[in-house]
Amino acid sequence: MTTVSDETSNVVPAEPEPDGAPEAALTDADGNAVTPAGSETPDTADGDTSGGTESVVADAEDTDPENTDPANTGADDTDADDPDADDTDEPDRVNADIAVDDPAADDPSDTDDPSATDDPPETVDTETADVESGTVESGTVESGDVGQGDVEHGDVSAEDPADTDDHAPEDNTSDHNAPEDNASEDSAPVDSAYDDSAYDDTSALPAVAATQLDPDDDSWWKSAIFYQIYPRSFSDLNGDGVGDLAGVIDKLGYLELLGVDAIWLSPIMRSPMADHGYDVSDPRDIDPLFGDLALFDELVTEAHDRDIRVTMDLVPNHSSDQHPWFVAALASEPGSPERARYIFRDGRGEDGDEPPNNWVSVFGGPAWTRVPDPDGTPGQWYLHIFAAEQPDLNWENPEVFDDLATTLRFWLDRGVDGFRIDVAHGMAKPEDLPDMDLESVGLLENRDDDPRFNNYAVHDIHRKIRTVLDEYPGAANVGEIWVEDNERFAEYLRPDELHLGFNFRLAKAEFDPESIRAAIENSLDAVLSVGGTPTWTLSNHDVDREVTRYGRIAAAPDVDVDLGILRARAMLLVELALPGTIFIYNGAELGLPNADLADDVLQDPVWERSGHTERGRDGCRVPLPWEGFEPPFGFSTSADTWLPIPESWVRFTVEAQLEDVGSTLSLYRQAIEMRYDRPEFDGDTVEWYGAPEGCLAFRRSAGHLICALNTSDVPVPLPPGEILLTSYPLMDGQLAPNSAAWLA
């Protein structure tokens, strides 16, 4: 990384242009000043700030004017093929599918939406926009019907061998509206009576072996934009208040419009849901809460048809306590092969009544639980770095990797394009299990010297995982690595280990130039030492949303959401200006803050295990608002969603932002498109410039894109150059406070 200059200047500098500074350009391509949806800031540059009402997303509109298609496909494809499809009226949904010249749009059988007689506040009509060419202002979409339609490959028929899987849902059809096992609010507990021999059944393979989206492209992940879907909170199509795979399929058109390369699904495998899916009881099946294997195969097929890759969460550090292996371990004697798959130890103390060491759970409380021996007497202790329902696997046992390899191939053979590996730095444990420094770490965190994590033996595990992925060209994995030391972090990204490593430095940085620059420099230095690819994210399901973090002001009791939105928009431009791979958490593109939830609705195990001292992560996991004027905002037909959606989120719905060129959603779409299309984004490193106080500026090494950020409370001059995009309109030709700009 080359530093061009660190001298302080009075402007955010760039290389001088012969003709001097250009005229001020605003976010709107038409030259209109635009205001971020929902934000309130000082007066901006003179002129019309309405942004106009012309649609920038016309190709995303529902061509069914009555919108009576309950599956929200944008066409009546499902009805045409399925005589049992539900044609009853449901509340309108924002149709994310992009249907062009769809004859189903004029279906005379469609009935009026009963809600149409209501008199809602005046909004832009998002139901009748014509689509003439499939090209939108900030994204180009191929014309043609891209509703759910027929599956061209990977389709699982009623006679699919998946139906013979002992643990698969009995009904393996792909009816989006009513997966048979999805009626309950939570997943039914796994039957703990079945023996672990049944777990070896892996016959539930697709009728036609699928492949990755493009097996010839083995480097797509180096500049990809991943969109993390927290399935419980993305879209619920069966009306039980919990998001599902049918809901994801329903919104693939929205994701295509957004412009992402890949989706990352948080856990959808079978689970008792003690930790919302991160306690897996069968890693080779879909939990009925979300759907079934046939529906998953349909998701992969339809995502691939839209050039969107599908990656899955993998949880190899631990299993559920209802996994057949652990059930067998509890029924077996100490020292048995069944117990050797987990970390069982005799206790300390006179009668073994003290834990084997002093380790604590990441969620709070002890990391050990004592269990009775088969004869009922007090017995050994088992290790669980997380909840007691998540016993840690013993990765020194070769059976553990062999089983994981089977799981990897199971999903890769279904066309999955890769995996996000949960707790990728935590699988290996030191042989002597030394005590830890209890004062050095808090809940939901670890340090580099924490003996629970980052032990060197973990790298052998990742090398074995990589050998399996290398059998599938076009597949890639990314590890969740909470490691601060650059040298130790880089070890995970050696050519025979992980393709990518999650780096959280930018998400942890304060909104000030020094903190942001340090995060960027550290992140680049860490990966470039091994020829790796940097990753960037501002939020995920485990950390507060960026709007909430940036909206906190010292000594202020409440979060300033409007300020947080401005700063989050600015940081989006910083993030997308950087070389490498981007991860967007669902809802970030809407400018969502954390939700302020009442104590009695909290579900994160951290809340209970901390003795109600830590509220946990539920605030950043609330379901997304899609449309309408009151909860559940089109997320579900049930008002009883698994976490309540705040009424104040009416301003954040997709419907409210879809045609507003000044909205956060529009900014995301425009920025993502530019990142793909403009040559200025070339280069693997950045060059730093001097900048006014409270500002920073850097340039991409090859394409020479300039990103300027103003974290101060006063406008600052911009350098010469063509303004490509601003996160907020200029103020008298200057970069506004709490905003960023791209220049060429």
The token pair at 347 is 């206790």
Segment (H or E) for 688: strand 686-689
- 480 CB-side CA count, 13 A: 21
Q: Which among 422, 544, 575, 604 is annotated as catalytic?
A: 422
SS3 (DSSP) at 725: strand
SS3 (DSSP) at 246: helix
With contact defined as beta carbons under 8 Å apart, do 145 and 134 qualify?
Answer: no
3-state secondary structure 112-135: CCHHHHCCCCCCCCCCCCCCCCCE
Distance CA 51, CA 79 (A): 38
Angle between helical axes of 458-469 and 398-412 (0-180°, round to 10): 30
Q: Which amino acid is at 514?
A: E
Burial 62-76 (b: 16+ CB within 10 A, else e): bbbbbbbbbbbbbbb
Question: Strands 476-480 and 500-502, how do they pair?
Answer: parallel
CA 383 vs. chain centroid, Å, equals 29
- Which one-letter DSSP state was computed for residue 542? T
The sign of the torsion formed by the CA atoms of 3, 4, 8, 11 equals: negative
Q: Which amino acid is at 36?
A: P
Distance CA 703, CA 324 (A): 54
Query: What residues pair up with 370 in beta bridges, in sequence order?
Result: 381
Q: Which among 471, 514, 640, 647 is annotated as catalytic?
A: 471
CA dihedral angle for residue 629, residue 634, residue 635, residue 641, rounded to 10 degrees: 60
With contact defined as beta carbons under 8 Å apart, do 542 and 701 qualify?
Answer: no
Residue 139 gets the label, from left (phi > 0), alpha (psi -120 to 50) or beta, of: left
SS3 (DSSP) at 303: helix
Distance CA 577, CA 686 (A): 9
Active-site residue 127, yes or no?
no
CA dihedral angle for residue 645, residue 651, residue 656, residue 658, rounded to 10 degrees: -90
With contact defined as beta carbons under 8 Å apart, do 143 and 158 qualify?
Answer: no
Neighbouring CB atoms inside 10 A of 196's CB total 16
The token pair at 53 is 């009402």
Q: Which amino acid is at 522?
A: N
With contact defined as beta carbons under 8 Å apart, do 700 and 681 qualify?
Answer: yes
Burial 654-677 (b: 16+ CB within 10 A, else e): bbbbbbbbbbbbbbbbbbbbbbee
With contact defined as beta carbons under 8 Å apart, do 419 and 408 qualify?
Answer: yes
SS3 (DSSP) at 22: coil
Question: Strands 368-372 and 581-585, how do they pair?
Answer: unpaired
CA dihedral angle for residue 248, residue 249, residue 252, residue 253, rounded to 10 degrees: -130
DSSP E strands, 453-544:
476-480, 500-502, 535-537
Active-site residue 62, yes or no?
no
Question: Strands 309-314 and 262-265, how do they pair?
Answer: parallel
Neighbouring CB atoms inside 10 A of 149's CB total 18
Question: Strands 581-585 and 225-229, how do they pair?
Answer: parallel
SS3 (DSSP) at 474: coil
> Which active-site residues does the annotation give?
422, 471
